[in-house]
């Protein structure tokens, strides 16, 4: 059965009214409709309570990797990410990228020898997924150099995921009166992407 991994980074003071969550819901409901046989597995960053890697934890993880012990719990999130057929990540645009909970999650999935490895010409990805999509909403309008989007685009390449797509619902705090219109357009883009994903 095809597996879609949903990385739920919709950390929001708006709770269920989160604009980022609305994008994720639009994507996921369209995906489920058009892929009735697929399984959606969710990893909710807000409840994971992950710790950033400090030197002692890195030493421990490196020792396990050197021993080939990739079945150790410290690699659980990386194994889950590596095995997904398709991946969708969602997070609000915070401080020019995304919430720190997502950055720490990225530390956990970036496991040399499991999700990527080095060769003499550089980094090569080892993940199964053929597609990754990133959904985000921001107070400001989208710019070509918007970092959350660029970050996930480059992570896709690093992990060997050939196709990257994104939806950015921008300008939501710049033009509060236009929020319904801006969200309608972005949710429709998310639905279109989910349908054909």
Which residues does 122 contact at the CB level (< 8 Å), separation at least 6?
none
Question: Under a CB-based contact definition with an 8 Å cutoff, are residues 24 and 189 in contact?
Answer: no
Q: Which is nearer to ligand FMN, 64 or 183 (CB)?
A: 183
Using CB under 6 A as the binding rule, whether residue 166 contacts ligand FMN is answered as no
**Separation of first and last alpha carbons in the chain:** 15
The dihedral through the CA atoms of 185, 187, 190, 196 has a sign that is negative
Site string for ligand FMN, 42-71 (x = CB under 6 A): ------------------------------
Query: Is 147 near ligand FMN (CB under 6 A)?
Result: no
Instruction: Tell me how far, at minimum, the Cβ of 185 lies from ligand FMN, in Å.
Output: 14
Are the beta carbons of 125 and 134 closer than 8 angstroms? Answer: no
Among 49, 71, 95, 121, binds ligand FMN (CB under 6 A): 95
Each residue 5-44 as x (binds ligand FMN by CB under 6 A) or -, in order, gives -----x-x-x---xxxx-----------------------
Give the separation between CA 88 and CA 163, rounded to whole angstroms.
12
Backbone angles phi, psi at 2, to 5 degrees: -65, 135
Closest separation in Å from C-beta 14 to ligand FMN: 5
Residue 140 or residue 175: which is nearer to ligand FMN going by CB? 140
Give the contact letters, 73-92, x = binds to ligand FMN (CB under 6 A), - = no.
-------------------x
Distance of CA 19 to the CA centre of its chain: 16
Cβ count near 40 (within 10 Å): 15
Summary count for the chain: helices (H), strands (E): 7, 7
Between 18 and 156, CB nearer to ligand FMN: 18
What is d(CA 42, CA 62) in angstroms, rounded to the nearest whole number? 27
Per rule CB under 6 A, is residue 172 in the interface with ligand FMN? yes
- Which of 26, 30, 134, 137 forms a contact with ligand FMN (CB under 6 A)? 137
Q: What does the binding site for ligand FMN look like in residue numbers (CB under 6 A)?
A: 10, 12, 14, 18-21, 92-96, 137-140, 172-173
């Amino acid at each position: 059965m095809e597996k879609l991994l949903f990385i739920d980074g919709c950390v929001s003071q708006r709770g269920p009214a989160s604009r980022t969550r609305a994008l994720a819901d639009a994507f996921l409901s369209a995906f489920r409709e058009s892929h009735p046989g697929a399984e959606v597995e969710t990893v909710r960053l807000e409840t994971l309570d992950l710790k950033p890697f400090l030197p002692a934890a890195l030493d421990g993880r490196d020792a396990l990797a050197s021993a080939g012990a990739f079945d150790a719990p410290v690699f659980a999130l990386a194994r889950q990410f590596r095995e997904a057929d398709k991946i969708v990540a969602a997070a609000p645009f915070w401080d020019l990228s995304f919430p720190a909970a997502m950055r720490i999650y990225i530390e956990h999935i970036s496991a040399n020898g499991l999700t990527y490895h080095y060769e003499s010409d550089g980094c090569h990805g080892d993940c199964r997924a053929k597609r990754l999509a990133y959904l985000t909403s921001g107070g400001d309008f989208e710019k070509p150099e918007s970092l959350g989007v660029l970050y996930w685009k480059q992570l896709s390449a690093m992990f060997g995921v050939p196709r990257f797509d994104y939806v950015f619902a921008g300008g939501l705090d710049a033009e509060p009166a236009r929020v319904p219109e801006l969200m309608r357009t972005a949710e429709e883009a998310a639905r279109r992407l989910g349908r054909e994903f």
